[in-house]
Amino acid sequence: EVQLVESGGGLVQPGRSLRLSCAGSGFSFGDHTMTWIRQAPGKGLEWVGFIRRAVYGGASEYPASVKGRFIISRDDSKSIAYLEMRSLQSEDTAVYYCTKEGQPGHGYFDLWGRGTLVTVSS
């Protein structure tokens, strides 16, 4: 079955760190850019960052809202992508989705995980 499964969410105190994982199966994981997208409670979708395929150097990009605090990495041998989040703030409370890019270079997400909830609170 083609799927993405996120894990690692939970309750975390402000200022602390958390690492999310995204396990892919049923497709050639290493052939796709992997992107994290979040959704705060009752809000819209927000891009958190992506990591390109190894053939493109595995480069990553982030929006200003998380740059310097969030790091995405990947282990293609295990078909897993990671989202390392540091200095977490209440504004980071959201469901975090892992997504797979469709056709390379076309910038759409044709497979989404079910998401994992991160709650930042003391």
Partner 1 sequence: SYELAQPLSVSVALGQTARIPCGGDNIGSKSVHWYQQKPGQAPLLVIYRNDYRPSGIPERFSASNSGNTATLTISRAQAGDEADYYCQVWGTSVVFGGGTKLTVL
**Minimum CB distance to partner 1 smaller for 13 or for 28:** 28
Q: Which amino acid is at 80?
A: I
Rounded CA separation 26/18 (Å): 27
**Minimum CB distance to partner 1 smaller for 42 or for 122:** 42
Which range touches partner 1 (CB under 8 A), out of 9-17, 41-49, 51-59, 80-88?
41-49
**Minimum CB distance to partner 1 smaller for 68 or for 122:** 68
With H, G, I as helix, E, B as strand and everything else as coil, classify residue 29.
helix
Q: Which of 13, 28, 44, 122 binds partner 1 (CB under 8 A)?
A: 44
Binding flag, residue 91, partner 1 (CB under 8 A): no
Binding flag, residue 104, partner 1 (CB under 8 A): no
Rounded CA separation 90/42 (Å): 15
First to last CA, the chain: 39
DSSP designation for 51? E
23, 116 contact by CB (below 8 A)? no
With H, G, I as helix, E, B as strand and everything else as coil, classify residue 90.
helix
Q: Which of 27, 46, 60, 84 binds partner 1 (CB under 8 A)?
A: 46
- Interface residue list for partner 1 (CB under 8 A): 35, 37, 44-47, 50, 61, 63, 97, 102-103, 106-110, 112-115
